[in-house]
Structure 1
Amino acid sequence: MLGIERRQKIINKIQQERKVYVNELAILYNVTEETIRRDLEKLEKQDFLRRSYGGAILKEHTYDDISFSKRITLNLEAKQQLAQKACTLINTDDSIMVDASTTCLEVVQLLKNEKSLTWITNSIKIVHTLIHNSAKVIASGGILRNHSYSLTGNDALNTLDNYCVDIALIGCKGLSIEQGITESNEAESIIKKKMAEQARTIILLADHSKFDNNGFAKTLNFKQINYIVTDKIPSAKWVSFLKKQNVKLVY
């Protein structure tokens, strides 16, 4: 296993368990403890974790606006799994508004060769992904946020307001029963709200790490959501709650 692959697995593990131990990781990945310590040191420098005695703990980013380049590596396998499930909800000839989240990008990667789809997005990364296929792509315009490769502001909102679409694909920073769906940045949250207003069907993409977490800006409540697509079944409490809210859970 390459070092970069091992470190990605460590990121996924600490996201799930909140804490990891050097000796356990060394056994799990069949490397020396010194190798694991070097891995943890690199991941600490990249702001994924904080080293502690005998291991490391997850560095919480609930309210942080993490850069796109860091977010794209977090829980990548889970995002890819739920992206495959999300594709089953999209039909030929659908028009889709899609935000600038890394999870939405995974869905677009899978559907980029579907020529009959129409995409409307505020994501520079998604526009770049679709640039060489013959699907219809509408970029929102607006103020560029370099941190997230997204376009926000009044120009972006005005563009979105011109269209009524079949589906809004939306990611989030977190979701909780008490606060609903939240985002780390207010400008991004406003864009997601507008996308939800313009769509007949709203699909929230949220891997398991997003449940029971809150971001800074409240985006949507559960009664506005039609589907939540995730990579694994959440707790019984969540299943019961979403059923009462008439939200279809796909996992």
Structure 2
Amino acid sequence: MLGIERRQRIVDKIKQDKKVYVSELSQLFKVTEETVRRDLEKLEGENILRRSYGGAILSEQTGEDLSFLKRSTINSAGKEYIADKAQSLINDGDTIMVDSSTTCLSLLHRLKGRQNITIITNSIRLAYDFSASNFRIISTGGTLRSNSMALTGAGAIKALMGYYADVVLISCKGLDRAHGVTESNEEESAVKQVMLQQSRKALLLADSSKFDKTAFVKTCELRDIDTIVTDKEPADNWGDNLAQQQVKLVY
């Protein structure tokens, strides 16, 4: 196993378990504890985790605004599972508003064979990755947030207000029964709010680590979402709570 593959699996494990142990990882990957410590040191330098005695814990803050590159390394298996589950919710001929999330990007890769799909997005990464696809792509324009490769601000919002979509695909940083759907920065949250307003149906793609979390700024209420697609059943009667708000849960 290559070092980059091993570190990716460490990221996935610590995202799920919130902590990891050097001895356990050494046995899991059949490498020396010194190799594991070097892996943890590298991941700590990327602010993914904080090393502690005998292991490491997840580095996670309410207002943490992760870069696109860093987000793309977190829980990649969960994102692929969500993309597989969500693809049946998109139909040929749909016009789709899509945010700059890595989970939504994973879903679009599964839709490349669909017919007459129009994508309206504020993601420059998405526009680049699918420039040679059969999708009709409309970019919002706006002010670039290089950290997330997202276009935001008045220009992006004005462009979105000129369109109506069948479906909006968004992700989030936190899901809480009291505080709703939350995001790490105001600019991208504002763009998502307009996308929700301009779309007939709202799909939220969020891995299980987002549940019972509250990030910096509120994007919408849970009841504003039609369907939440996640990678495994959330705990503590989340399903019943969402059903009461007429939100479908897919996992």
TM-score by length of 1: 0.97
Residue deviations 1:180-235, cap 9 Å, x none? 00000101000000000011110001001111111111001011110000011111
1:190 aligns with 2:199: no
Q: Mind listing any 5+ residue stretches in structure 2 that lack a counterpart?
A: none
Which secondary structure state, in structure 1, belongs to the residue aligned with residue 181 of structure 2? strand
Which secondary structure state, in structure 2, belongs to the residue aligned with residue 88 of structure 1? helix
Q: Which amino acid aligns with 1:95?
A: T
1:69 aligns with 2:52: no
TM-score by length of 2: 0.97
* Whole-Å separation in 1 of the counterparts to 2:135 and 2:22: 48
Cα pair 1:20 1:57 within 8 Å, conserved: yes
Residue deviations 1:30-83, cap 9 Å, x none? 111111111111111111111111111111133111111111111111011101
* Whole-Å separation in 1 of the counterparts to 2:240 and 2:29: 37
* Whole-Å separation in 2 of the counterparts to 1:76 and 1:45: 20
Moved more, 155-164 or 110-119: 110-119
Aligned length: 251
Q: Which amino acid aligns with 2:67?
A: S
How far the C-alpha of 1:133 sits from its partner, in A, is 1.7
Alignment of 1:226-245 (within 5 A): 226-245=226-245
Q: Which amino acid aligns with 2:184?
A: S
Which secondary structure state, in structure 1, belongs to the residue aligned with residue 144 of structure 2? strand
Q: Mind listing any 5+ residue stretches in structure 1 that lack a counterpart?
A: none
* Whole-Å separation in 2 of the counterparts to 1:182 and 1:43: 26
Cα pair 1:168 1:203 within 8 Å, conserved: yes
Alignment of 1:1-251 (within 5 A): 1-251=1-251
Which secondary structure state, in structure 1, belongs to the residue aligned with residue 175 of structure 2? strand
Cα pair 2:112 2:134 within 8 Å, conserved: no
Which secondary structure state, in structure 1, belongs to the residue aligned with residue 110 of structure 2? helix
How far the C-alpha of 1:115 sits from its partner, in A, is 4.0
> Identity of paired residues, percent?
53
* Whole-Å separation in 1 of the counterparts to 2:165 and 2:47: 38
* Whole-Å separation in 2 of the counterparts to 1:13 and 1:135: 35
- Runs of 4+ aligned structure 1 residues displaced above 2 Å come to 112-115
Cα pair 2:15 2:58 within 8 Å, conserved: yes
How far the C-alpha of 1:113 sits from its partner, in A, is 4.0
